[in-house]
Amino acid sequence: MSFNVSADAYANFMGRYSSPLATKFADLVGVEPGQRVLDVGCGPGALTEELVRRVGADDVTAIDPSESFVEAVAQEFPDVMVSLGGAEQLPYPDASFDVVLSQLVVHFMTDPVAGLTEMARVTSPGGTVGANVWDHSGMLGPLSMFSRAVRETDPNAADEANLAGAKEGQLVAFFEAAGMTNPSASVLSVSVVHPSFEQWWHPFTLGVGPSGAYVAGLDPAAGERLRAHCETLLPSGPFTVDAAAWTVLWRKPS
């Protein structure tokens, strides 16, 4: 799935959560100078930026199916090799990278097993494959309060809890189906302070991802009902959103 929105829109919507997650993800993997790293489904560059900070732009490669995101990453990081494409058909030779990561992307892969299989293929022996996805199923993702409001105002609406990998154990199962035996699983958590309800709500109106598409499809009256219900569920002043991401790593045998 590609996101046909601007990089700024995505950054305002999910970047506030994905940037701190990228730091924790890179820490868990142990990304360090001298490694060749691939960012699969780089989006507008939250993880790419963290990887560049750790290993330098010359050793970072990125790929994403959304033209707007590829353009944004190319402009922000001109020394990063960034390409347009999906995880399911990576345009790289076997064993090209020491670390191959995918942050918040398995949810939207056309075929998660095929995408992870490709990630393993381009990883060098002894290298690491890693992926994470939000725990939407356990209502512990960053959109959990929004999802609750949607369910309570529109019980027939689609639920992000059904996205690929959102349920506990699903991401591990995808790794194993892709031939990556004995992967390690953990949970990464981030906490983001929102100064106001409006600052939290506005990005949902930008059309980003399934949630943004849902809001964009509402008539004005329904949109206002949803907004008002969200407002009853959240404080008006500063509040913190805690979010958890299922995370799986696999080391390719040497």
Using one digit for the tens of pLDDT, what is the confidence trace for 87-101? 999 999 999 999 999
The maximal CA–CA distance of the chain, rounded, in angstroms, is 59
Which pLDDT band, with edges at 50, 70 and 90, does 230 fall under?
A: very high
* pLDDT exceeds 60 at position 138: yes
Which pLDDT band, with edges at 50, 70 and 90, does 224 fall under?
A: very high
**Cα-flanking dihedrals φ and ψ of residue 131, to 5°?**
-150, 150
pTM of the predicted model as reported, rounded to 2 decimal places: 0.91
* pLDDT exceeds 50 at position 2: no
Ramachandran sector of residue 230 (left: φ over 0; alpha: ψ -120 to 50; beta: rest): alpha
Measure the CA–CA gap between 143 and 211, rounded to whole angstroms: 8
Measure the CA–CA gap between 7 and 119, rounded to whole angstroms: 24
pLDDT in the model for residue 210: 84
pLDDT in the model for residue 237: 81
At residue 168, the 3 state secondary structure works out as: coil
Show the tokens assigned to 196.
């106001």
Q: What is the mean pLDDT of residues 25-32?
A: 98
Q: Which residues pair with 186 in a beta bridge?
A: 247
Are 132 and 246 in contact, with CB atoms under 8 Å apart? yes
Q: Is the dihedral of CA 243, 137, 113, 182 positive or negative?
A: positive
* pLDDT exceeds 80 at position 3: no
Q: What is the mean pLDDT of residues 1-13?
A: 71
Q: What is the mean pLDDT of residues 237-248?
A: 94
Other Cβ atoms closer than 10 A to 4: 11
Other Cβ atoms closer than 10 A to 10: 26
More confident residue, 140 or 99: 99
The amino acid at 218: L
Q: Any idea which of 30-39, 71-80, 134-143 has the lowest mean pLDDT?
A: 134-143
Measure the CA–CA gap between 155 and 171, rounded to whole angstroms: 27
* pLDDT exceeds 50 at position 113: yes
Highest mean pLDDT among 32-46, 199-213, 231-245: 32-46
* pLDDT exceeds 70 at position 115: yes
